[in-house]
Amino acid sequence: MSERWVGNLERRVRRWCGQAGLGSAWVVAVSGGGDSVGLLRVLHEVARRVDLRLSVAHLDHGARGPAARADAAFVAELSASLGLQFDLGQWQPARSGHFESDARSARYAWLTEIARARGASVVAVGHTRDDQAETILHRIIRGTGIRGLAGMPRKRVLARDPTVTLVRPLLGVSREAIRDYLASRAQPFREDQSNADLTRTRARIRHDLLPKLNAEYNPRVTSALVRLGGLATALERSIDSDLDELQQAVVISCAADYVVLKHGFLGSVPRYLRTEVLRRVWRGHGWPEAGMTARRWRRLAVLAEQDEFPTVMIGTHVVASTDRNFLVLRRLPAGAQASGSLAMSAAIELPVPGAASIPWASGRVIATLDPDGPREESIDLDAVAGPMFVRAPVPGDRFDPLGMGGKSRPLADFFRSCHVPRERRSRAPLLCDQRGIIWVVGQRIADRVKITPQTERTVDLRWIHEA
């Protein structure tokens, strides 16, 4: 890489930092990998010219043993060589099967704490143009809307009071260019071998899917994905003003723990815009979004079309209720006890092994790992997207009964086909996971959790009535 190109990269980052309108104290998140080390070196080069005060933060995710400790030592030594303060954190995964999402949440929460402790208003991370393409492709595979297609923003608010902003100064720079920059500076970096672990979806996208698309379909697929993200971002911005006006029109009143909306008017709005308005209202109140999947947002948008429905638990301690005039979203205090129809909507976790007492149905669901014990149903434990929980039916529920080859149908139709009395349908316990209904208790399991020749682990289920 020529010195001219190096200077262009530094000028590009310097110009963006100067135009971003952010504070001067920045925490740079450095894992030890090439992208984050490149970010640190570039920011260190431009810091004096744009009046930045940098410090370095490194979080050990507790999954790589000696290699992780070597990474931390490398970053500490690099920080010292640049004359920068260094913070080291430790985190241990608490759940199996959720490492990537839990680690990301833990990392950003810890970086926010470090920023506040350092009096910094900015946290900088080393995501590149290639990371952006991988993110967009990952979201396309999972299923996403316009917001997801936009990919990662250049900056977003991590926390408020005081505000801490996450920034990605290298989002328009390729990973190859960063490696060339490091080579020009004779700057070593660490290779994280877990990034090549093909059991992780992101690694398979990076090392298998994208190279295949590039070789067999489009040699500029990364550029195409990033361009798609840019178009989605522009579209999202173009409707922001319309959403502002719509939000003002539908919100009647609000406080920290509730919001009242014009039910009929909201139900007449196209579903996509309605979903975006509900998302804005939710986010504006600072309610937790981690459990709000695309399916839950759609479910809330569909509820807004219905004249009446029972009180429904939508997200973490957030319930929705309605009549013909108002749609009310209410946040319950943590640990609050629900009653009546709300108690039926609340999710009751089922540990494995263990039991869950279901008060509205006067009984218990029991999960065991004993193959010789009593049971009504057996399911493939590895097909469950845990944790499992029990709830009552809500409007819009669908179910893929065993024997239908994975085809889903409205739960109400399933109840009718099984001749479940109408008066019992609203109180029927449903065993669910993060993907939907696993077992309509006393009736049938879902096709997706059935035992197959490939099944390695099973869990047995039974219902005990306690009338």
Instruction: Write down all domains in the chain, each with its CATH number in brackets.
Output: 3-235 (3.40.50.620), 246-337 (3.30.465.60), 347-465 (3.50.40.10)
What pLDDT, on the 0 to 100 scale, is given for residue 34? 95
Q: Determine what percent of the chain is predicted with pLDDT higher than 70.
A: 91
pLDDT grade for 225, boundaries at 50, 70 and 90:
very high
What pLDDT, on the 0 to 100 scale, is given for residue 342? 47
Q: Which helix (H) or strand (E) holds 85?
A: strand 85-90
What pLDDT, on the 0 to 100 scale, is given for residue 259? 84
The dihedral formed by the CA atoms of 300, 302, 308 and 310, expressed in degrees to the nearest 10: -40
Is a pLDDT exceeding 80 seen at residue 334? no
Q: pLDDT: is 459 or 327 the higher one?
A: 459
Any alpha helices (H) in 3-128, and if so which ranges? 3-19, 34-50, 65-81, 99-118
What pLDDT, on the 0 to 100 scale, is given for residue 200? 79
Q: How large is the angle between the packed helices 175-184 and 3-19, nearest 10 degrees?
A: 120
**DSSP class of residue 105?**
H
Q: pLDDT: is 194 or 79 the higher one?
A: 79
* Chain position carrying tokens 């043993």: 65
Could you tell me the pTM of the whole model? 0.64
Cβ atoms of 398 and 409 closer than 8 Å: yes
pLDDT grade for 340, boundaries at 50, 70 and 90:
very low
Distance separating alpha carbons of residues 304 and 320, to the nearest angstrom = 9
Is a pLDDT exceeding 70 seen at residue 162? yes
Cβ atoms of 257 and 263 closer than 8 Å: no
- Those residues whose C-beta lies under 8 Å from the C-beta of residue 49, and which sit 6 or more positions away, are 14
pLDDT grade for 288, boundaries at 50, 70 and 90:
confident
For the ranges 192-201, 218-227, 277-286, the lowest mean pLDDT is seen at 192-201
Q: Determine what percent of the chain is predicted with pLDDT higher than 90.
A: 47
- Those residues whose C-beta lies under 8 Å from the C-beta of residue 68, and which sit 6 or more positions away, are 60, 61, 62
DSSP string, 186-215: T------GGGG-TTSHHHHIIIIIHHHHHH
How far is CA 67 from each of CA 34, 38, 74, 133, rounded to the nearest angstrom? 16, 20, 10, 28
- Those residues whose C-beta lies under 8 Å from the C-beta of residue 292, and which sit 6 or more positions away, are 279, 282, 314, 315
Helices (H) and strands (E) in the chain, counts: 17, 22
Average pLDDT, the chain: 86
pLDDT grade for 44, boundaries at 50, 70 and 90:
very high
pLDDT grade for 464, boundaries at 50, 70 and 90:
very high
What pLDDT, on the 0 to 100 scale, is given for residue 323? 60
What pLDDT, on the 0 to 100 scale, is given for residue 5? 55
What pLDDT, on the 0 to 100 scale, is given for residue 137? 95
What pLDDT, on the 0 to 100 scale, is given for residue 190? 92
pLDDT grade for 6, boundaries at 50, 70 and 90:
low
Long-range contacts of range 164-167, CB-CB < 8 Å, 24 or more positions apart?
Answer: 164/112, 164/115, 164/116, 164/120, 164/121, 164/122, 164/123, 165/22, 165/121, 165/122, 165/123, 166/108, 166/111, 166/122, 166/123, 166/124, 166/125, 167/20, 167/22, 167/26, 167/122, 167/123, 167/124, 167/125
For the ranges 23-32, 104-113, 342-351, 387-396, the lowest mean pLDDT is seen at 342-351
For the ranges 300-309, 433-442, 446-455, the lowest mean pLDDT is seen at 300-309
How far is CA 177 from each of CA 39, 170, 205, 289, 311, rounded to the nearest angstrom? 12, 10, 20, 35, 54
How far is CA 378 from each of CA 5, 56, 254, 453, rounded to the nearest angstrom? 62, 51, 46, 14
Longest CA–CA separation in the chain, Å: 81
SS3 82: coil
Distance separating alpha carbons of residues 12 and 16, to the nearest angstrom = 6
Long-range contacts of range 422-427, CB-CB < 8 Å, 24 or more positions apart?
Answer: 425/393, 426/310, 426/344, 426/392, 426/393, 427/344, 427/360, 427/361, 427/392
